Amino acid sequence: MFEFSQLELPIIQAPMAGGLNTPLLASAVCNAGGVGSFGFAYTDAEKVAQDLAQTKALTSGPVNANFFIFQPVEIPSKQTIIDAVAALSGFSLEGGYSLAIPTQPFFPDIILQLEAVWAEQPAMLTFHFGIPSEEIIQAAHAREISVGVTATNVTEARAIVKAGADFIVAQGIEAGGHRGTFSPDGYDSELPLEQLLRELVAEASIPIVASGGLMTGLDINRALNLGAVAVQMGTGFLCCDESSTPSSYREILLSDALRPTQFTRGFSGRRAQGISNHFMVAMEHKPTLPFPIQNTLTGTVRKAAAKSNDVEFQSLWAGKGYAKSRAMSVAELMQTLQKEMSGGK
């Protein structure tokens, strides 16, 4: 079974759903001594198998396959759908876009997705938005696959320990992408990573991985000093040569003209953090469909925006530390982080 102590560098490249993770990226991280991940939330079983097999051909290092725990979707009323579609209509986008009401199934069947995982046997399996079933945890353990679950507060962490998971990914409010809270609409304590780490390290009997806003070796050291066994970095890898981040998204991450980050439900129906743009501002206080129907509904907007390099309508997921983004290869980034961790510049 995977142990964090076997890593050369205690760094997990975060799973990033939506096609940003590639076998090239994940394998480069593994080959540089860390853990390479895939965000397979919306990915069909065939592509899960293909990505894992391709990665295995490029590295023998530990790979993480990550999935969302989707909640059953309550079908919205006709009026809610009309209002949500109206909120998305009339954006001025080159090439235009059409809006189609999503139909069932709204998300992939995790049992089918996991068949591909069982066949490929990655080192670890992680989950966002909740805890997988007991059967899934048992099936992973029977194959020596380590299981991790995101927590944003102590209550979630306690439930993760009780379920028999092997480690917790502590997600601070600084993190880019979706908040991993178990409840999509419940109270969110919005804890900064350092406070969350202190609370979870004191409480939990299993290893804690720190995530949220960590961009440099010094950031990593701070998290390790607070008791984390490793860190999970997403934004920090977005500008790596091996990542499939679109060029216009990279330019915004690397731009000196800093914009604030912002949380929005506008793109997917669940709160996620990214660099503020026209879409996020326009969608403040506007009605949305439940997650992930809103995500499917806005797919055509995001695609048209990516095609025309229009950053104002793309989901520019990024953590609060994004201004420290670095454009380099994974090997260079990992070397730089290692140097910074050992006190070098």
Ligand X SMILES: Cc1cc2nc3c(=O)[nH]c(=O)nc-3n(C[C@H](O)[C@H](O)[C@H](O)COP(=O)(O)O)c2cc1C
Binding site for ligand X (CB under 6 A): 14-17, 20, 39, 41, 66, 128, 150, 171, 174-177, 211-214, 232-236, 317-319, 321
CA 132 to each of CA 71, 181, 251: distance values in angstroms, whole numbers, following the listed order:
11, 14, 37
CA atoms within 13 A on the CB side of 24: 9
**Of 85 and 263, which has the nearer Cβ to ligand X?**
263
Nearer to ligand X, 38 or 287 (CB): 38
Residue for token pair 């001025």: 92
Q: Which residue type is seen at 171?
A: Q
Peptide bond into 105 cis (omega under 30): yes
Distance from C-alpha of 125 to C-alpha of 298, rounded to nearest angstrom:
28
Q: Which is nearer to ligand X, 213 or 290 (CB)?
A: 213
DSSP 271: -
Return left, alpha or beta for 208; rule: phi > 0 is left, psi -120 to 50 is alpha, else beta. beta
| 55: CB partners within 8 A, 6+ apart | 23, 26, 27, 30, 36, 38, 63
Q: At 103, is the secondary structure helix, strand, or coil?
A: coil
Instruction: Report, in Å, the least distance between residue 86 CB and ligand X.
Output: 28
Give me the least distance between CB of 128 and ligand X, in Å please: 3
Report in angstroms how near the CB of residue 90 gets to ligand X at its nearest: 27
**63-68 sheet: strands from edge to edge:** 11-13, 230-233, 208-211, 167-171, 146-151, 124-128, 63-68, 36-39
Residue closer to ligand X by CB (options 68, 91) is 68
> 34 and 2 in contact (C-beta within 8 Å)?
no
3-state SS class at 8: coil
Q: Closer to ligand X at the Cβ: 23 or 76?
A: 23
Structure tokens at 158: 């306690």
Structure tokens at 238: 């977005």
We find the least distance from the C-beta atom of residue 168 to ligand X, in angstroms, to be 12
CB of 223 to ligand X, least distance (A): 11
Residue 284: CB atoms within 10 A of its CB come to 10
